[in-house]
Structure 1
Amino acid sequence: MATVQTVLRKKVNAQNLYPITIRIIKDRKTSFISIGQHIALKFWDEQNKKVKKSHPNATRINRLILKKLSEVNDKLLEAEINEEFVSASQVRANVKGKNKIDFFRLAELHLENLKKAEKHSQYLTQKGRVTKFKEFVGKDKLNFKEITVFLLKNFEGYLLNQKKRKPRTAVNYMIMIRKIYNLAISEGLAENSNYPFGKGKIQIRIPESDKVGLSIEEVKKLETAKDLSFAQQDAVNVWLTSFYFAGIRVSDMLQLRKSDFKDGRLLYRMNKNQKVVSLKVPRKAEIILDLYNKPGIGNHDLIFPYLRGTNFNDSKELLTRIKTVTRNLNRRLELVAKELKIDKKLSMHIARHTFGNISGDKIPIQMLQKLYRHSSITTTIAYQSSFLKKDTDDALDSVVNF
């Protein structure tokens, strides 16, 4: 004989909410099945074993409780009819086996795939976003039908207003949720009819970012800077080298080896999109590179010393080390900017923006696409739009200068 009862387990989560469970006692052994819902203690009707009407989702949760109770009793009844022995844990396993994969479980599988593919940067970033979404929802299980336009709008407002995140950050969260929802549809785990994205629903628009680059005069300040510490001068050298090569990303800069330079050209494969790059070594870059081409440096040794001793076969270790070095470089560049009275946030990434700012209207867009190593010219046009000011300036002057 078995007893089945709904109970609110006294096992509080990080949000001080308690899980609603179905308790099965059979042959003096107990097993619990979570229904995937957590509530505050004040909303639980202990006498009637259900959620109080004062809870905003009382009706829906109580229906879910009845459904789960029915599933458990059906399994027990089926075992009785067939004269089969079934334990409390077996009933629990059978009932849980009927449940479809929910959003957070599919998100876990997605994260596991990123980890197996050694895409550690994406893994860590998206794991953080999934965790933040779970904190907002306040429960460990979220069916795809529950991901409504209303829920996503509230989540967006939560990110922008309570967490003070930037609009682009909020967009990144929506892109992550949409990606997992699309995966669910492709796997038959969710219905198109409930899809919360698209026209008249949640439309993802990437906001324009304000890209600020240094001026020629400010770059000259870096080129002629004196009395910097060794660490600061090294940071400036890395920054200038990146700028001289049309804004090579810092992760690629730190991994440049002596063997990447042949016959006065830089030849390397970009980590981001695996594109092969071939660029002439400008004279200014050559002067800096000669400073690091010391006796004893082997052909396959790193140009800049920051990643020496790193296990390049361990992608997670490499990513962690690159992030640490980049953070240190940016801190030193901030100090340099303050000392040189450059009233802009100086970082490694701004070297790319600086090239775009100075190139302006001087270089055809097709050539800029090659220099930036963009896969699509549309990307180049969108990127460069922040720096193309001549046409708008001339148009403005033509109207107001009368």
Structure 2
Amino acid sequence: MKIIAFRLMHSSERKKRVNKDGTGIIWIYAYQRGTNRKTQQKYFSTGVRVKPDQWNKKSRQVIKHPNALAYNSLLSRKMAELMEYQIDMINERRGEHISLNEFYERFTATGGKELSFASFYQMIAEQRKEISESTRQTQLNTLNHWRTAVGDTPFRELNYDTLDAFHQYLLGEEKELTTIDKYHRHVKTYINIAVNKGFIKSELNPYNNFKYDKGRARPKGFLRLEELELIELMEIKSLSSEQVKARDIFLLMAFTGLRFSDAVCIKPHNITKTRKGYHYSALMVKNRRRAKKEINLPLYTFFHFVDEEESRAQRWMKYCLEKYGSRPRAALFEGLSNTVVNENIKAVARVAGLDKHLTCHVGRHSFGTNMAVKVPIPTLQGYMGHSKIETTMQYVNMSKKIQDDVMERIRWEK
């Protein structure tokens, strides 16, 4: 790959482009010849506007203009800025030339300033198409903590001490060790991307030698069916509209096992009414980079008790369709965020008289735990969309608590 070359060019040289007043912008034309002999081209605006007869194509200078001296000085500085930025990027890569496309993307994103790890993190996070919007916002929240702790640290200063400063900041914020580990995993993801893109040498990855206490994950919370019934039958007059919507999607996850990212995307056309009852089918939102998995849920079978006319999953899906499904192609819970639901579901728990810490994922955990008592493990794995059987086994272990509680309530008599 050859070095990027730059030269000044008037708009009239680019397909004779000029404004109505006869002036045109002076551009910096950047070009690079590749190994396949094809030339890449990009244009950077200088902001200087003059008429074609005020531009000398041979000397590449402004002439016959009252501000010619100032303009030419400005053009020289902008050319030097681009060339210096290229040299800095080459030095960053230990002498390896960069492509014009990468140079253009980075220069545009940073405004010609040295690229810090935080700027790189934000640029890549905003570009990634394989992650959900909620994941993007969570990772950008971690970036805010990073900037507060260590600022816009350049790549060359990214080391063990930087990670330790970030870690000490999180400890000072009295974050739980498992939460701190989550923040580190986000940062580690973008450092690995930087390694893959050549911004950091693999052997200089600061996480190679950085160790910290990851803590122990809390036992997964869940609600028994009788507790879910308290939320389903609760008086909602005292709840706000946001809290009611949080309750509705929470119960939908608890009766169907859907992740929040899938539940928030439910559309009326995903529901098929068969002779036996309601059936839900859609493509799973998670892991967009991989081959998409299809979700197929026979809702009419989930928690269908003999003394009830229909299953609780079908009953609640019908309720949500009637309440939110006015447009067949629109998501029932369009625009709802995980964070907002988590905030509102806590209020719902209090009004329902439940002394438990509820989140969106507790709904899904409740489905898995209650189902594990009745459903074979491979079947449950399929319904929950788990890639590994070990993930499903967590719910089997959690369901033992339900079985133990049932045994404890037995009154043995001789």
Alignment TM-score, normalising by the size of structure 2:
0.57
- Partner of 1:352, secondary structure, is helix
Shift in Å at residue 266 of structure 1? 1.6
Pair 1:353–1:256, CA change in 2 (3 A) = same
Deviations 1:60-92 (A, max 9, x none): xxxxxxxxxxxxxxxxxxxxxxxxx99555544
Matched, 1:368 2:372: no
* Contact residue 258 and residue 301 of structure 1 kept, 8 A: yes
Structure 2 alignment gaps of length 5 or more: 1-72, 90-114, 302-310, 406-414
Pair 1:122–1:136, CA change in 2 (3 A) = same
Structure 2 counterpart of 1:225, from 234, 238, 257: 234
- Partner of 1:368, secondary structure, is helix
What is the rounded CA distance, in whole Å, between the counterparts of 1:297 and 1:194 in structure 2?
A: 53
Q: Which amino acid aligns with 2:210?
A: K
Deviations 1:318-363 (A, max 9, x none): xxx2218x726852x4344323321113344321122233345544
Structure 2 counterpart of 1:356, from 362, 368, 372: 368
Q: Which amino acid aligns with 1:167?
A: L
What is the rounded CA distance, in whole Å, between the counterparts of 1:349 and 1:126 in structure 2?
A: 18
- Partner of 2:285, secondary structure, is coil
* Contact residue 365 and residue 381 of structure 1 kept, 8 A: yes
The match for 1:126 is: 139
The match for 2:336 is: 322
- Partner of 1:285, secondary structure, is helix
Structure 1 counterpart of 2:210, from 201, 206, 214: 201
Shift in Å at residue 213 of structure 1? 0.9
Pair 1:91–1:385, CA change in 2 (3 A) = farther
Shift in Å at residue 132 of structure 1? 2.7
Shift in Å at residue 135 of structure 1? 2.9
What is the rounded CA distance, in whole Å, between the counterparts of 1:303 and 1:95 in structure 2?
A: 50
Q: Which amino acid aligns with 1:94?
A: M
What is the rounded CA distance, in whole Å, between the counterparts of 1:349 and 1:98 in structure 2?
A: 49
Deviations 1:207-254 (A, max 9, x none): 423321112331232344357568566654443332221x22334334
The match for 1:338 is: 350
What is the rounded CA distance, in whole Å, between the counterparts of 1:92 and 1:210 in structure 2?
A: 55
Pair 1:338–1:102, CA change in 2 (3 A) = closer
What is the rounded CA distance, in whole Å, between the counterparts of 1:298 and 1:88 in structure 2?
A: 59
* Contact residue 221 and residue 340 of structure 1 kept, 8 A: yes
Superposition RMSD on alpha carbons, in Å?
A: 3.9
Structure 1 alignment gaps of length 5 or more: 1-84, 308-320, 394-402
What is the rounded CA distance, in whole Å, between the counterparts of 2:227 and 2:318 in structure 1?
A: 24
The match for 1:279 is: 297
* Paired residues for 1:381-396 under 5 Å: 381-382=393-394, 385-386=397-398, 388-389=400-401
The match for 2:88 is: 99
Pair 1:291–1:91, CA change in 2 (3 A) = closer
- Partner of 1:322, secondary structure, is coil
* Paired residues for 1:129-168 under 5 Å: 129-138=142-151, 140-143=152-155, 145-161=156-172, 163-168=173-178
* Contact residue 293 and residue 303 of structure 1 kept, 8 A: no
Matched, 1:214 2:223: yes
The match for 1:43 is: none
Shift in Å at residue 196 of structure 1? 2.2
What is the rounded CA distance, in whole Å, between the counterparts of 2:123 and 2:322 in structure 1?
A: 48
Deviations 1:278-334 (A, max 9, x none): 111242233334445559977825584x53xxxxxxxxxxxxx2218x726852x43
Pair 1:147–1:216, CA change in 2 (3 A) = same
* Contact residue 330 and residue 346 of structure 1 kept, 8 A: no
Deviations 1:347-392 (A, max 9, x none): 4432112223334554443222112111222333356555555899
What is the rounded CA distance, in whole Å, between the counterparts of 1:141 and 1:302 in structure 2?
A: 43
* Contact residue 175 and residue 204 of structure 1 kept, 8 A: no
Structure 2 counterpart of 1:270, from 284, 302, 308: 284
The match for 1:42 is: none
- Partner of 2:169, secondary structure, is helix
Structure 1 counterpart of 2:316, from 288, 295, 303: 288
Deviations 1:147-198 (A, max 9, x none): 222321231121122x233323322332233223223332333223322224
Segment drifting more, 350-359 vs 121-130: 121-130
What is the rounded CA distance, in whole Å, between the counterparts of 1:347 and 1:174 in structure 2?
A: 22
The match for 1:192 is: 202
Pair 1:367–1:157, CA change in 2 (3 A) = farther
Q: Which amino acid aligns with 1:221?
A: L
- Partner of 1:357, secondary structure, is helix
Q: How many residues align?
A: 287
Alignment TM-score, normalising by the size of structure 1:
0.58
Q: Which amino acid aligns with 1:96?
A: Y
Pair 1:129–1:244, CA change in 2 (3 A) = closer
- Partner of 2:210, secondary structure, is coil
* Contact residue 251 and residue 322 of structure 1 kept, 8 A: no
Q: Which amino acid aligns with 2:294?
A: V
Percent of aligned positions that are identical: 23
Pair 1:384–1:202, CA change in 2 (3 A) = farther
* Contact residue 111 and residue 127 of structure 1 kept, 8 A: yes
Pair 1:108–1:387, CA change in 2 (3 A) = same
What is the rounded CA distance, in whole Å, between the counterparts of 1:216 and 1:90 in structure 2?
A: 69
